[in-house]
Amino acid sequence: DAKTTQPPSMDCAEGRAANLPCNHSTISGNEYVYWYRQIHSQGPQYIIHGLKNNETNEMASLIITEDRKSSTLILPHATLRDTAVYYCISHSGNMLTFGGGTRLMVKP
C-alpha cells in the first residue's frame, strides 16, 4: 500500500466546511483512496472511497486530483460530533496500513 501523508491536526468552526488534505504521491493505478475516521476509543468508521473520480455520499465528498497524487476529504457542514482522527489510506486489496491521520477539532 502506498504511503500517505496528512497534517497532524486541524481546527474547524462548527457549521463550516472542513477540508482535510492527503498526499499519496506513490499511489499505483489500482489502489483506491479510502477515508476512515476514529472517534476516541472506538474502532475506525468508514467514510468514503474513490479511485479517480470525485465521490459524494451522505457523510462527505472526496476530491481526487487528476494525477491522483493527492485528495481532499470535505465535510460540508462540520458538527461537534465530527471531532475525530481522520485517516487517509491507499488500499491495494490486501490490507489497510494506517498513517498518523489528521486530528480534526470542530469548535463551537
Partner 1 sequence: GAVVSQHPSWVICKSGTSVKIECRSLDFQATTMFWYRQFPKQSLMLMATSNEGSKATYEQGVEKDKFLINHASLTLSTLTVTSAHPEDSSFYICSALSLGQTGTPSSNTEAFFGQGTRLTVV
Contact set with partner 1 (CB under 8 A): 30-32, 34, 36, 38, 41-46, 49, 51, 87, 91-101
Residue found by looking up cell 475516521 in the block: 37
Residue 65: partners with Cβ closer than 8 Å, 6 or more residues away: 71
Q: Judged by CB, which is closer to partner 1: 14, or 69?
A: 69
Q: Judged by CB, which is closer to partner 1: 18, or 85?
A: 85
Q: Judged by CB, which is closer to partner 1: 93, or 108?
A: 93
| Sheet with 61-64: strands ordered across | 18-23, 70-75, 61-64, 55-56
* CB of 94 vs partner 1, minimal distance in Å: 8
Residue found by looking up cell 488500499 in the block: 91
